[in-house]
Chains A and B, each alone.
Chain A
C-alpha cells in the first residue's frame, strides 16, 4: 500500500514528438473549451481545474514526502481571505490577488511547518487538520478584518476580456498549469529525489546529506501556496466568502481522496481523480440534498475498501486478470 502511495514519477524516455503533439492538442482544447460551454458547464470546468490544483498541491506533502496532511482547507481559506480582504480594500487588481495569497500562504506555511513537521503519523495528520479549525476560528473572531461570521462580499470584477466566467476559468487554468508544471519540475529535480528519500526513510535521508527539515518545509509550503492561490481566485469567483465555507474541513479530505481515486504514482492520476470526484459530487451527491455528505462518506468508504489503488488501477488490474 505504501508503495502505491508513492507518487514518484520516474523520468521515462517518451517519444518526444508524440508527447509534444498530445500536449499541444490538450492545451488547445482547454483554451478553446469556453467557446463551446454554457455557464453551467463553465462552472463545472472551473471547479474541476480548482480540484486539480488542490489534488496536485496535496501531492507534494502527502504523496512525494508521505506526510498525511489534512491542511489544505487551512490554506485554501487563508488564501481566500487574503484575496478577499485585499480586493475589497481595492488596493490591488484581481490578477495580483492569487499571487499575493500564494506568497502569504507560503510564508505562513514555513513558519507553521517548523513545529508541526517535527510530528509524524497521526500527530502530524491531526495537527494539520486542527490548523484549519484554528484559522476558521480566527476568521470568525477577528471581525474588524474578516467580517466574522458575516463573511466578506467582494466587489464585482470587470473582466478585461470575455465574460466573467471565462476570466475565472482561464485564471484557474493558468493556476492548474502552474501547479502541474511545478509538480513535473519538482518530480525530476534534486528536491524530488530528496522528497522520495524522506518518504521511504527519513533518518537515512538525513544520513546521506539531505536536509530533511528544510525539504519537508518546502513541500509543505508548496502544498500551502498553490491552494492559497486557488482560494483567492475562488473568493473572487463566488463573490462572497464566509469562514465555514472556505475553511470547510471537507476540502482537506477531498484532496487526498481525489488523489486516491485517480491513483497515485502518475502525474495525471490526481487530475483524473478530480474529474471523477466532481462527477460524483455534481451528479450524485448534490441531488441528495438531505444526505449529500453521507453519500460522499459512502463513496469514500467504498473507495478505501474496494479500490485502494484508485479507480483506474483497479480497472486495469481487473482487465489484466481477465486477459
Chain B
C-alpha cells in the first residue's frame, strides 16, 4: 500500500438540501497523478474548495501529511503545502507576472526576503516558459499565458500537492500539449497532483489513478485502467449509449 499524502474521511458538504459532496472517503497517494472526473455538477470543484479551506465541511475529516487540516483557514492550508489553480484563472491583474509569482513565493512559499522570492519566482516562470514575459502586467497576458502563470504561482508556493482545476480548459492544441508535458515533468519531480479534467485524452495520457464523482458521491476510485473499465463509471460518465456501443463493439 502506498502512503497517502492527503486523506478525506467521510467528507460532506451540503448547501441547504443539496448534497454537493456526500460522504467522500478518498486517499491521494504520494507522488502520483490522480484524476478527479465526473459529469458537470458532480461536486469536483466543491471538493477542491473543501480541501483548500475555501468552504467549510458539513461533516467528515481531512488529513494532510498526518495532520488534520479541516477547519483551518485557507491561508494556513496553503502554507502547509496544498496549492491550487482556479478553473477561472485569478491572477492579480495590476501586478506583473513576476510580482504575481513572487507574492506566492513570499507567503505560501515562506521566503522571507523579497529579493530571494523574486529569484525563486523567476526560476518558476522559467519552468513554465513565461520568463520573457516577467515584466508584463498579468491583465495583459493571453488566456494560455495566464494559465501558465497560475501554474508558476502554484509552484512558487513549494507545494507537496497541486490541485489543478480544469487547468487545460480553453487551451488550443499546441498549448495543451505543452501543459501536459509540464504536468508530467512536475510529477516526475515528485509532486503529487490531483487534477480535475474534462478532456478524456488528457486523463488517459496523464493519470495514474482515477476518482469518479457522481452527484456528490464517490462511485469509483483506483488505478486508472481499472476505473476506466468500471461499468458504473462508464454509465455515469459517458452515458448508457456509450456502454451499449462498447458491448456491441
Are chains A and B touching in the complex at the 8 Å CB cutoff?
A: yes
Q: Report how far A188 CA is from B75 CA in the complex, Å.
A: 22
Q: CB within 8 A of B103: which of A203, A206, A208, A213? A: A208
Q: Mark A198-238, 1 if CB is under 8 A from B, else 0.
A: 00110111111111110000000000000000000000000
B108 located at the interface, meaning its Cβ lies under 8 Å from any Cβ of chain A in the complex: yes
Residue of A nearest to B113 (CB): A190
B94 located at the interface, meaning its Cβ lies under 8 Å from any Cβ of chain A in the complex: yes
Q: Report how far A196 CA is from B107 CA in the complex, Å.
A: 13
Q: Is the CB of A206 within 8 A of B78?
A: yes
Q: Report how far A201 CA is from B99 CA in the complex, Å.
A: 14
A194 located at the interface, meaning its Cβ lies under 8 Å from any Cβ of chain B in the complex: yes
Pick out which of these stretches binds chain A: B22-30, B85-93, B187-195, B230-238: B85-93
A6 located at the interface, meaning its Cβ lies under 8 Å from any Cβ of chain B in the complex: yes
B95 located at the interface, meaning its Cβ lies under 8 Å from any Cβ of chain A in the complex: yes
A311 located at the interface, meaning its Cβ lies under 8 Å from any Cβ of chain B in the complex: no
Q: Is the CB of A200 within 8 A of B93?
A: yes
Q: Which residues of B contact A197 (CB under 8 A)?
A: 92, 95, 103
**Which of A190, A196, A213 has the most CB atoms of chain B within a 10 A radius of its CB?**
A190
Q: Is the CB of B75 within 8 A of A204?
A: no
> With A3-B94, A201-B92 as given contacts, are A207 and B78 in contact (CB-CB < 8 Å)?
yes
B185 located at the interface, meaning its Cβ lies under 8 Å from any Cβ of chain A in the complex: no
Q: Is the CB of B95 within 8 A of A208?
A: no
Q: Is the CB of B54 within 8 A of A210?
A: no
Q: Is the CB of A210 within 8 A of B75?
A: yes
B204 located at the interface, meaning its Cβ lies under 8 Å from any Cβ of chain A in the complex: no
Interface of A is mostly: helix
Q: Mark B72-102, 1 if CB is under 8 A from A, else 0.
A: 0111101100011010001111110001001
A116 located at the interface, meaning its Cβ lies under 8 Å from any Cβ of chain B in the complex: no
Q: Which residues of B contact A194 (CB under 8 A)?
A: 103, 107
**Chain B: number of interface residues, binned into ranges:** 20 to 34
- Mark out the residues of chain A between 256 and 309 whose CB falls within 8 Å of any chain B CB in the assembled complex: none
Q: Is the CB of B75 within 8 A of A212?
A: yes
Residue of A nearest to B138 (CB): A200
Q: Is the CB of B94 within 8 A of A8?
A: yes
> With A190-B106, A204-B90, A208-B108 as given contacts, are A196 and B78 in contact (CB-CB < 8 Å)?
no
> With A194-B107, A207-B52, A207-B84 as given contacts, are A200 and B75 in contact (CB-CB < 8 Å)?
no
B157 located at the interface, meaning its Cβ lies under 8 Å from any Cβ of chain A in the complex: yes
Beyond contacts A209-B109, A211-B76: 9 other A-B pairs, Cβ-Cβ < 8 A, are: A206-B78, A207-B74, A208-B103, A208-B104, A209-B157, A211-B73, A211-B75, A212-B75, A213-B73
Q: Identify 23 residue pairs between A and B in the complex whose beta-carbon atoms are under 8 Å apart, listed by A's number.
A: A3-B94, A188-B114, A190-B107, A190-B114, A193-B106, A200-B94, A203-B90, A204-B92, A206-B75, A206-B78, A207-B74, A207-B75, A207-B83, A207-B90, A208-B103, A208-B108, A208-B157, A209-B78, A209-B79, A209-B109, A210-B75, A210-B107, A211-B73
Top-6 shortest CB links A-B? A209-B108, A209-B107, A208-B104, A200-B92, A204-B90, A206-B74
Interface residues, chain A, with chain B CB atoms under 8 Å away = 3, 6, 8, 188, 190, 193-194, 196-197, 200-201, 203-213
Interface residues, chain B, with chain A CB atoms under 8 Å away = 52, 54, 73-76, 78-79, 83-84, 86, 90-95, 99, 102-104, 106-110, 112, 114, 153, 157
